[in-house]
Amino acid sequence: MANEQDILAQCAEICTEEWTVLSAVYPEYTSHSEPPSLTRTAPVSIRLEVPVEIEEQKIEIVPELNLAGQSQQEDSITVSLRNLPPLILTLLLPPTYPLRVPPLLVHLHSANSWLNASAINSLHESLSQMWQDDVDTGSSTGSLWRMCEWIRGGSFLTNDSDHIRLAHPKPSILAKRLKDHDNAINMDNFAQTKFDCQICLSTVRGAKCIRLDCSHVFCRSCLNEFWSLCITEGDVDRVMCADPQCVKENRQVTEDEVLRVVTTAEAQRWKAIKRKRALEKDPGLVYCPMAFCQGPCPSPMAQRGLMERETKTVDDETMRREYVSLRTCENCDYSFCMLCKRAWHGLAPCSSDITSKFLEQYMTLEEGHPERLALERKFGKAQLIRLVNKLQEDEENRKWLELSTTKCPNCLVSCEKSYGCNHMTCMRCSTHFCYLCGRKLPGDRPYNHFSERGPCK
CA dist 435 and 43 (Å) reads 126
Q: Does the pLDDT of residue 110 top 90, yes or no? A: no
Q: Is residue 197 part of a domain?
A: yes
Domain limits for position 276 = 193-280
Compute the average pLDDT of residues 236-256: 89
Q: Does the pLDDT of residue 41 top 70, yes or no? A: no
Q: Is residue 425 part of a domain?
A: yes
One domain, residues 202 and 254: yes
Phi and psi at residue 45, in whole multiples of 5°?
Answer: -85, 125
One domain, residues 389 and 456: no
One domain, residues 15 and 47: yes
pLDDT at 224: 93
Among 60, 56, 55, 51, which residue's Cα sits nearest to residue 163?
60
pLDDT one-digit tens code per residue, 386-434: 777 877 887 888 888 888 889 999 998 989 888 888 889 988 898 999 9
One domain, residues 234 and 271: yes
One domain, residues 289 and 258: no
Count CA atoms closer than 13 A to 381's CA, side-chain side. Answer: 6
CA dist 225 and 80 (Å) reads 34
Q: Is residue 264 part of a domain?
A: yes
Compute the average pLDDT of residues 206-212: 90
Q: Is residue 329 part of a domain?
A: yes
Compute the average pLDDT of residues 325-337: 84
Q: Does the pLDDT of residue 208 top 60, yes or no? A: yes
One domain, residues 418 and 452: yes
CB-based contacts of 263: which residues, under 8 Å, 6+ apart?
Answer: 228
Span of 215-229, 255-269, 289-303 with lowest mean pLDDT: 289-303
Q: Does the pLDDT of residue 314 top 50, yes or no? A: no
pLDDT at 64: 78
- Higher-pLDDT residue of 128 and 379 is 128
Q: What Cα–Cα distance (Å) separates residue 294 from each residue in 14, 40, 272, 353, 358?
A: 83, 87, 16, 23, 21
β-pair partners for 90? 47, 107
> How many distinct structural domains can be found in the chain?
5
Tell me 348's DSSP state. Answer: S
Q: Is residue 393 part of a domain?
A: yes
Nearest 5°: the CA angle 389, 381, 299 is 125
Q: Is residue 24 part of a domain?
A: yes
One domain, residues 151 and 6: yes
Assign 267 a pLDDT band (cuts: 50, 70, 90). very high
One domain, residues 27 and 87: yes
Compute the average pLDDT of residues 145-165: 80
Quote the mean pLDDT of the chain.
80
Specify whether the CB–CB gap between 53 and 83 falls below 8 A. yes
Domain closes at, from 253, 280, 307: 280
One domain, residues 369 and 434: no
Most confident range, picked from 216-230, 300-314, 443-457: 216-230
Q: Is residue 326 part of a domain?
A: yes
One domain, residues 266 and 290: no
Q: Does the pLDDT of residue 159 top 70, yes or no? A: no
CA dist 457 and 455 (Å) reads 6
pLDDT at 336: 87
CATH of the domain at 249: 3.30.40.10
Q: Is residue 134 part of a domain?
A: yes
Q: Does the pLDDT of residue 320 top 60, yes or no? A: no
Domain closes at, from 332, 348, 364: 348
Count CA atoms closer than 13 A to 198's CA, side-chain side. Answer: 12
pLDDT one-digit tens code per residue, 10-39: 888 888 888 888 888 888 777 654 555 555
Q: Does the pLDDT of residue 1 top 90, yes or no? A: no
pLDDT one-digit tens code per residue, 86-108: 988 888 888 888 888 888 888 88
CATH of the domain at 22: 3.10.110.10
Specify whether the CB–CB gap between 315 and 323 falls below 8 A. no
